[in-house]
């Protein structure tokens, strides 16, 4: 191993012992012409981590009037900004139904732009299949002031009791920028255990709440056919 370059310390006038040596500081061992580059690199390392760009999501057609927006699996983090849920889109004669809108206001608005690339029909309902924050916190941004938010009665209770804490937790995982403007929109309508038939925007739906699956409030959404 090479010995570090050393500089000699001046010998005291009152002490005639051989002078001691000490390593030169790292900064002094960098060539003068390269010091500006080292300073620039140190300054870059001190900057806060940048927000990761997300691609505009695109829905995939499953069948006539049925689309899915899928996300890569994994925990919420600054890179995916909490978008780890799958979103469903059901297009009826007069409106569209969004299932599990996403984790934040920003994600919800971005998802709405993907909806507008398929249809100009308004969102007439937002359905939440369970109470995980990655699925439900975009509900207010997507539903707006006119569309109802629907969930099982158990999901309503879980959101009422836990969503404030979940919003704080998800913000910690993804960052303030990703969650900026996100609020909590509780369901306006609830369904009980069993099967409930609903018509939203000309689309007949069966909302099926059978109890525990992924969570205590799990809701399945079946769309047998569009209304003629």
Residue 3 CA, chain-centre distance (Å), reads: 51
CA distance 197 to 193: 12
Instruction: Tell me the CB-side half-sphere exposure of residue 184, using CA atoms within 13 A.
Output: 17
CA distance 181 to 197: 34
**Which of 161, 166, 167 is CA-nearest to residue 181?**
167
Other CB atoms within a 10 A radius of the CB of residue 67 amount to 20
Comparison of pLDDT for 17 and 220, the residue scoring more: 220
Q: Where are the domains of the chain?
A: 66-222
pLDDT of residue 60 exceeding 60, the answer is yes
CA distance 167 to 182: 8
Flag the least confident range among 42-51, 67-76, 122-131, 140-149: 42-51
CA distance 81 to 48: 16
Query: Taking the C-alpha atoms of 87, 104, 74 and 221 in order, what is their torsion angle to the nearest 10 degrees?
Result: -30
Percent of the chain with pLDDT over 70: 74
Output the pTM of the full model: 0.73
pLDDT of residue 40 exceeding 60, the answer is no
Q: Please give the pLDDT value at position 160.
A: 94
Percent of the chain with pLDDT over 90: 48
The per-residue pLDDT for range 91-119, each reduced to its tens digit, is: 999 999 999 999 999 999 999 999 999 99
The CATH classification number of 66-222 equals 3.60.15.10
Q: Please give the pLDDT value at position 225.
A: 66
Flag the least confident range among 25-39, 66-80, 92-106, 204-218: 25-39
pLDDT band at 54 (very low <50, low <70, confident <90, very high): low
Sheet holding 123-127, edge to edge: 60-63, 66-69, 87-91, 96-99, 123-127, 149-152, 189-191
Q: Please give the pLDDT value at position 43.
A: 42
The per-residue pLDDT for range 118-173, each reduced to its tens digit, is: 999 999 999 999 999 999 999 999 999 899 999 999 999 999 999 899 999 999 98
The two tokens of residue 170 are: 């998800």
The overall average pLDDT reported for the chain is 79
């Amino acid at each position: 191993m090479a010995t570090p370059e050393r500089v000699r310390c001046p010998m005291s006038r009152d002490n005639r012992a051989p002078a001691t040596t000490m390593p030169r500081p790292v900064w002094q061992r960098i060539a003068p012409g390269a010091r500006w580059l080292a300073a620039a690199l140190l300054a870059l390392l001190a900057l806060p981590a940048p927000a990761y760009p997300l691609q505009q999501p695109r829905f995939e057609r499953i069948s006539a009037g049925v689309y899915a927006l899928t996300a890569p699996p994994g925990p919420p983090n600054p890179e995916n900004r909490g978008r780890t849920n799958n979103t469903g889109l059901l297009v009826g004669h007069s409106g569209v139904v969004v299932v599990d809108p996403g984790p934040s206001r920003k994600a919800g608005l971005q998802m709405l732009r993907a909806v507008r690339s398929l249809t100009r029909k308004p969102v007439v309902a937002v359905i939440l299949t369970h109470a995980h924050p990655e699925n439900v916190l975009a509900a207010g941004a997507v539903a707006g002031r006119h569309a109802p938010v629907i969930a099982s009665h158990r999901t309503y209770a879980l959101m009422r009791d836990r969503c404030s804490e979940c919003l704080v937790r998800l913000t910690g995982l993804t960052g303030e920028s990703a969650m900026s403007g996100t609020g909590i929109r509780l369901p306006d309508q609830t369904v009980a255990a069993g099967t409930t038939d609903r018509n939203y925007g000309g689309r007949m739906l069966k909302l099926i709440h059978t109890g525990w699956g992924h969570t205590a409030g799990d809701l399945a959404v079946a769309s047998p056919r569009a209304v003629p």
